[in-house]
Amino acid sequence: MQWEQERLDHAVTDAFGFHALQLGLPELEALRANRMPHRWVANASLSEPEAMILPPPGDHSITTQAPDIPVALHCEYDALPFPNQSIDLLVLPHTLELARDPHTTLREVERVLVPEGRLVITGFNPASLWGLRQRAGHARRGMGFGRATPLYLPRAGEFIGYWRLRDWLRLLGFEIEGGRFGGYRPPLQSDRWLDRFSWMDPVGDRWWPVFGAAYTLTAVKRVRGMRLVGLLRREHRKAPAVAAAVNREREPALHVESRAEPAEAELS
């Protein structure tokens, strides 16, 4: 969580706009480094719905609560209570892994994000020591060992691979800005042994970066539109010259009339 907190602070600090939303994991302050005036933290496991907008930094006239304390908004991740194109920044800390339908959640995220809005996602890497430990625990439970084999990570949810998630976002029209892996220590529950393997973090970041226990991914919503490529050529055409048109059909009639005038004069 310490590594994820540092990466989230780095990802959201330069995101500008008016509205920011964090979906899930309220224990992680994903929006603390962001400077948007309106920030929400949504959670789908609350018994009583609560909602409040955090005031701008330094403004304590709106509410008596401190601006750095997140207040939860009770909602469903696959049916967000926001209009289309209304959120500038959206953070999903392990949200897709615990969502009922990750695809529907991503479609809702794409719907509420404004064009050029930013999306930050964190997740567990299945191709890591933590992922192997989790799969081994599920396998032992399936063989009948039951609770004798504790799981290192939450039992609910499914890990989503980094490259698989990139493909999902590209299909929805997102452009990937970057990603980062971290957490190369083995899955140990003792702080003493975790400290002994602290040397694996810098070594793993250099030599096997794609095998980190967790990852962060940043994407931007792009809205494709039609545009002209190149300069528009203007052709200057000369005005057509005025020419006298001769009506040849009326010439014989005029000629006959001119001959008939003397005859009429003689008769008169």
H/E segment holding residue 92: strand 87-93
Question: Binning pLDDT at 50, 70 and 90, where does residue 231 land?
Answer: low
Average pLDDT over residues 33-38: 89
Q: Would the pLDDT of 260 be above 70?
A: no
Pick from 62-71, 73-82, 201-210, 231-240: least confident: 62-71
The larger pLDDT score, comparing residue 98 to residue 249, is at: 98
Residue linked to tokens 């203007």:
234
pLDDT given for residue 146 in this prediction: 54
Q: CB under 8 Å to 198, separation ≥6 — which residues?
A: 185
Give the span between the Cα atoms of 53 and 57, in whole angstroms.
Answer: 12
> pLDDT, tens digit, for every residue of 84-134?
999 999 999 999 988 888 999 999 999 999 999 999 999 998 887 777 777
Pick from 46-50, 61-65, 218-222: least confident: 61-65
% of the chain residues with pLDDT over 70: 65
pLDDT given for residue 87 in this prediction: 93
The mean predicted confidence, pLDDT, of the chain is 75
Structure tokens at 261: 């005038």
| SS3 label, residue 158 | coil
Boundaries of every domain in the chain: 2-221
% of the chain residues with pLDDT over 90: 25
The larger pLDDT score, comparing residue 49 to residue 182, is at: 182
> pLDDT, tens digit, for every residue of 168-181?
999 999 999 988 99
32-41, 114-123, 196-205, 247-256: range with highest mean pLDDT: 114-123
Comparing CA positions, the residue from 31, 133, 145 lying closest to residue 89 is 31
**Each residue of 15-50: b (16+ CB within 10 Å) or e?**
bebebbbbbbbbebbbbbbbebeebbbbbbeeeeee
Q: Would the pLDDT of 54 be above 50?
A: no
Comparing CA positions, the residue from 70, 2, 8 lying closest to residue 217 is 8
Q: Model pTM greater than 0.85? A: no
Average pLDDT over residues 21-49: 80
Comparing CA positions, the residue from 74, 77, 52 lying closest to residue 65 is 52
Quickly name the fold that domain 2-221 has: Rossmann fold (3.40.50)
Identity (one letter) of the amino acid at 121? I
